[in-house]
Structure 1
Amino acid sequence: MEQQDGNKVMAFDTLFSTNHIAMLKILLSCLDYQAQKSMAVYIKFLELQYTIHYYNQNPHPLCGCTGPDASRDLPSLCKELLPYCDEKEKKQIEQLCSLFQSMEMYREFSKTMETMKDMIPGFADMSDLFSSGDPSSGSSPDIMSLLINMLTPEQQEIFQMFGGNHNDK
């Protein structure tokens, strides 16, 4: 786990705790097993109670020092989550991140293709070579169909779940 990721967790834990709760956590190790169980539940109760009180007194959203949009990009968010995942969850997050990166690459590629069509006369005819259909038939499916067919069934399902119906123009 990177230091920055740990800092976010520690900052959250610090925000929703008090010095007295921290002292109880320290004393927890001095208690016998039965008392530890009860004390641990009591500590969590105090943290919940403090959190509710905090939000009643501070109706403002939480955001890090880097601003609210800094951690919104998916690859960074995925990277921060990975240390807390088991192997199966890591694989799923990596697949999801890969899918979104592929979609972003497609968007950039589409923009480039449109720009090239506008700038270079006759480029529209050349771009038909990149499609999966027959240019002479006049019905050439877009490259999105080709890319979607390259995804695994699970990735296709995730793509559709996130509004990837490419037939809606």
Structure 2
Amino acid sequence: MDDKRIDKAAAFDTLFTSNRIQILKILAYYMDPRLLKGLAVYIKMSELQYTLTLFRRHPETSLCIAPSSANEETATELCNDLMPLCDETQKSALQQIIQMMDNIHNFQEMMEMVQTMQELFPEGFSDLSGMDPSMLSGLFSTAKSDTGGQKNGLFQDTPLDAG
């Protein structure tokens, strides 16, 4: 069990228990096994009672900073935290969710890039079939002369340039 998952479980246990209940849990290790069953039930009932009282007095009680700020990173983290506790079928389902979240993230990044390209080039790239190849050649030769061409070594002459 990794430290983050232990920390989350410990945070939950710490919030929904009292020192008195923690003392009872420690005493359970020193009890006669025949008495343990009754003590375990008493501890669980005490935790339930403590939790209900806590929520009655402090209804805003929460373990997370802001549940409304959940995003795909939070969902992926949740899936990864749950994975070690699941059987193979559940792990497979969680892996599919993680993969889906990754695909959505990649698609969003791709769409942002397309939008940026459309803003940079509003005329678009839709009709390249009618473009004159010499126009591209002219564009590259202009870039070559603007940057100094051979002088600074950015563009080297190729056999095609010789003709």
TM-score, structure 1 normalization = 0.63
Q: Extract unaligned runs of 5+ from structure 1.
A: 127-169
1:107-136 CA distance string (max 9 Å, x none): 22122223323322332447xxxxxxxxxx
Identity %: 34
Q: Structure 2 residue aligned with 1:68, among 42, 45, 66?
A: 66
Paired residues of 2:55 and 2:61 also in contact (CA < 8 A): no
Contact map agreement 2:24 2:43 (CA 8 A) in 1 = yes
Question: Where does residue 147 of structure 2 map in the other structure?
Answer: none
Alignment pair present for 1:113 and 2:114: yes
> Displacement, 1:8?
1.5
What TM-score comes out, normalization by structure 2 length?
Answer: 0.65
Distance 1:56 1:125 in 2: 66
| Letter matched to residue 39 of structure 1 | L
Count of residue correspondences: 124
Q: Return the index of the structure with the highest Cα Rg.
A: 2
The answer to whether the Cα contact below 8 Å between 1:17 and 1:50 also exists between their aligned partners in 2 is yes
Asked if structure 1 preserves the Cα contact closer than 8 Å seen for 2:12 and 2:63, the reply is no
RMSD between aligned residues = 2.3
Cα offset, 1:3, TM superposition = 1.4
C-alpha offsets along residues 40-72 of structure 1, whole Å, 9 cap, x if unaligned?
1111111000000001111214144xx326775
Consecutive unaligned residues in structure 2, runs of 5 or more? 129-163
Partner of 1:83: 84
Question: What amino acid is the match of 1:122?
Answer: G
Write the distance in 2 (CA, Å) between the matches of 1:44 and 1:11: 17
Q: Note if contact 1:21-1:43 (Cα within 8 Å) is conserved in structure 2.
A: yes
Residues 131-146 of structure 1: pairs in structure 2 closer than 5 A = none
Q: For 1:31, what is the secondary structure of its paired residue? A: coil
